Chains A and B, each alone.
Chain A
Amino acid sequence: MEVADERWSAATFEELAMPLFDQLYNFAYWLAQDRTEAEDLVQEAYVKALKGFSSFQPGTNFRAWMYRILRNSFLTSRTGLKASAMVALDSDDSPELPAGPEMPETILIEHSQHQLLQTAIEALPVHFREALLLCEVEEMSYQEIAETLSVPIGTVMSRLSRGRKALRESLQQKLART
């Protein structure tokens, strides 16, 4: 979200931040998996962002900045600390896994199976879940995701690949049981 300096100088925090409200809330909910916690995270993120807005560098990515603040709030929350601890041993440096087996056409996701898919996403380790959501739902570029998560682009690619593979396997298992 590159914004011209002239426009930027006249813009208010509210004008820039409110259009991101629904997306940020959705992301917060996916991270925290609880409505009250999601609201707390969003509120904390907006308060922090407003406070730090004067230090925000015009011309840099405001959306990535907001997501980063929200994510940092999550990581320091109780749920976030617990979720991070669960994936701490899961090194980002491990080589990218080869693509998993192709999804059989018979198990293509139907609209009625959204619940199944949502459960599978919820079950993903938080580092995979957040990378996948930023890429698939928020349609961020690798660069934006890297800025949001404060990791190198290679790590973003690795997490996406591993997350997608884990999601496929999880879906196959769930579908096999049904």
Chain B
Amino acid sequence: MADHWTAKLETYLDGELSASEMRDLDAHLRSCPSCAADVLSQVQIRRAVHSAGKRYSPSSEFRERIRNSIASKPRRSPMRMWLEATAAVALLLIAGFITLSVRQQQGRRQQVFSELADLHVATLASTNPVDVVSTDRHTVKPWFQGKIPFTFSLPELPNSEFTLLGGRVTYLGQVPGAELIYQIRKHQISVFIFPDRVVGRELGSSSQERKELSFNVESWDQDGLRYFVIGDASRNDIRNLADMMKKAS
């Protein structure tokens, strides 16, 4: 019986026996002087080893050296990694959104100019290109009253090569606007005028010069109105007419 317990004394003293075995061995030790003496001896030597084993202490310089070498290196916690990943994804989404937004804006701008080119071509192809036929701006301008929700000024053209042929009401994005037809030499040029709020978002406030379906186009906004001058005339002609329109307003 004692041999059975003797083999377990070490484990007992290491505190690694099960609770029931611990209780049983406690009870055995109270009745077995041999095992009790063995335990006492082992306890004493363990205490001595515990004490003797704590022998070496690092110098304070060495401690500081190690501390400095590892200081302020925070662990990348799962939460922080998650936040970083989320931020990265968010940045990508924002960048993607901006790109998409810019592309959409470019797309809408392109669409506006295409529509205007179509309107211009449709006007030229029409058997009745203008609804008010007059070379007199004082006739044409009042004609638009009540037909469009804004008014505008037209330039005098006494000493220029441009001739006013007339005007018509047109629509862009379901909003009515004015289309004026000018002629210079053999070329007919359309001047479109719309409230800026209709196309301002797509075009911004800057003036633009571009080519659309081989037409030269100039566009600007002035006094809340957006002007487009478009035609197959030369870039200079388009610009000259645009400048006269700007000065008239």
Contacts and interface: CB of A to CB of B under 8 A. Distances in A.
Tell me if chain B binds chain A: yes
Interface string A86-129: 00000000001011001101001101011001100100000000
A42 interface: yes
B69 A114 contact: no
A47 B73 CA distance: 12
Contact of A142 (B14, B48, B52, B65): B14
Q: How large is the interface on A (under 10, 10 to 19, 20 to 34, 35 or more residues)?
A: 35 or more
B111 interface: no
A121 B48 CA distance: 11
B229 to A, nearest CB: 64
B70 A13 contact: yes
Contact of B55 (A10, A26, A103): A26
| Count class of interface residues, chain B | 35 or more
A21 B70 CA distance: 12
Interface in A20-61: 21-22, 25-26, 29-30, 35, 38-39, 42-43, 46-47, 50, 53-54
Interface of A: 8-14, 17-18, 21-22, 25-26, 29-30, 35, 38-39, 42-43, 46-47, 50, 53-54, 96, 98-99, 102-103, 105, 108-109, 111, 113-114, 117-118, 121, 132-133, 135-137, 139, 141-142, 157, 160-161, 164, 167-168, 171
Interface of B: 6-7, 9-11, 14-16, 37-38, 41-42, 44-46, 48-58, 62-63, 65-67, 69-80
